Amino acid sequence: MEGRRTERFICTLNTISTISSAVHMACSSLNTDILLHLAVEILTEALGSKDVFCAVYLYEDQRFNLKFYKAPFEVPAVAPKELLKFLRHRTVAVVEEIPEFAKEHCQEGMLLIVPLSLKDRIIGFVPICTKEKIYIDNLQEEILSTLGVIFAMGIELIRLHSETNRRLEEIRAMQARLIENERIVTIQRLPAGIAHEIKNPLAAAYGIAQMFKPGEPVEPDLLNRLLKTLYRTKEQVFELLKHSKPTLQKLETVRLSKLLEETISLLTYELRKKSVEVIREFDERVAAYVDSSQMGQVFLNLIMNAIDAVKENGRIRIRVKNGYDGSAQVIIADDGAGIPEENLKRLFVPFFTTKEGGSGLGLSICLQIIKNHNGRIAVKSKPGKGTVFSILLPSA
């Protein structure tokens, strides 16, 4: 007697080991058909009888639909009501009542219903018909019940994986549509961007032209500055027109104090018109590895904004120094009206502006240029106390 118990215990352990490896394989393949085939094979093996017929029904669309079967007769596509009544207790049901569709082949046998149950619901069941009556003890019932739970978990995992993939595809499709919509909006707003970006250099060019005196020889220095401004305007328009394409940067070692002096000289007229004082605190040794045309565009935008922000006889302080992390740092500070706290977070958002007639593109373009240089820009401001922009760039 003890020997038979030991043999049965070993057989049970082997069955559970087989179950674990089979479910692992089925779930790894993420294939429901493979899992259902394994479920039928292992459940019939657990009964210790070869003369059995199985089917697998899964719950979907508010009914139990046939998903797999192993029988020499036709099995109903939708589970008949005579089987559903045995699911009420969520346990393995052993009955002698054979369903109508199996009576011809299993007249002398019996019926087992193995529920595929999770903690909160039954997701399916496996009806098993035997050709002859077999003895099912408590241990076998427990094994069949455990198998039902394990296979239910495997089926649910595969379903969740499929659902996750479907949702991810929907998200990817939505992202693609958003990107396309954003591209269309950008193209539609491109004229506003071009208008904004050529406004500042053209204003500088106009200011230089105002310094020409009619009837007098043109000063070579003024003419050179005018030509530089117009050339920069052309370059900026080209950059905007290539907005949707990768921009090739002409990176070189640039002394930031020199680039800033060139930018300030382009704004001589605007500075004189408001009697704005520019205080320079330049470390002549500080250089950065940048595209001088693009970075000149950034400095022109920020200094023009500072001129707009200050009152008559206002001050703009520009510092060039080594940053705390070995980078090159440029600080542009003004004593203007400052920026309200609620606007600071949106300052670099495209098309956000509080300036009358502004496009809201200047600072967003500056941010993009600085990011493309692996740099950073930060802003501090308080109403009535002015604004400070700090730029960190890769040092050369």
Structure-block tokens of residue 1: 């007697």
Does residue 185 surpass a pLDDT of 90?
A: no
Residue 89: CB atoms within 10 Å: 9
- pLDDT digits over 24-45, tens only? 665 666 778 888 888 888 887 7
CA distance 350 to 50: 72
- pLDDT digits over 206-235, tens only? 666 666 666 666 667 766 666 666 666 655
Low-confidence winner among 91-105, 277-291, 369-383 (lowest mean pLDDT): 91-105
pLDDT at 233: 63
Q: Does pTM top 0.85 for this prediction?
A: no
Low-confidence winner among 129-143, 252-266, 378-392 (lowest mean pLDDT): 129-143
pLDDT, averaged across the chain: 81
Domains in the chain with CATH codes = 2-136 (3.30.450.40), 189-393 (3.30.565.10)
Beta bridge partners of 87: none
Does residue 161 surpass a pLDDT of 70?
A: yes
Kindly state the average pLDDT of the residues 16-20.
65
Structure-block tokens of residue 105: 């082949």
pLDDT at 244: 44
20/83: higher pLDDT: 83
Of all residues in the chain, the percent with pLDDT exceeding 70 is 73
CA distance 179 to 176: 5
